[in-house]
Amino acid sequence: MEHEIDIKGLRSELGVTQSQLADALGLDQSTISNWENGHQKPRGPARKLLASLTKADFARSGAAA
């Protein structure tokens, strides 16, 4: 079984908003909100991408503060 991803904690670590994370993943902000609130869980490619994100990914795009 795969471990849970703390989306809100990950966002905090990355220094990005729900909208910025959603844009980076090609998703709607409401999807990120649903993940954080436990209404849905990230699956497939989105889950793998979340696990690989670093601050540097957002620093290059200027999204991280």
Tens digit of each residue's pLDDT (9 = 90 or more) over 27-36: 999 999 999 9
Tell me which CATH homologous superfamily contains domain 7-59. Answer: lambda repressor-like DNA-binding domains (1.10.260.40)
What is the pLDDT at residue 13?
Answer: 94
- Quick one: which of 57, 8, 54, 47 has its CA closest to 27? 47
What is the pLDDT at residue 63?
Answer: 61
Dmax over CA atoms of the chain, in Å, equals 35
pLDDT tens-place string over residues 41-52: 999 999 999 989
Q: Percentage of residues in the chain with pLDDT exceeding 70?
A: 88
Query: Is the pLDDT score of 14 beyond 70?
Result: yes
Tell me the pLDDT band of 8, cut-offs 50, 70 and 90.
Answer: very high
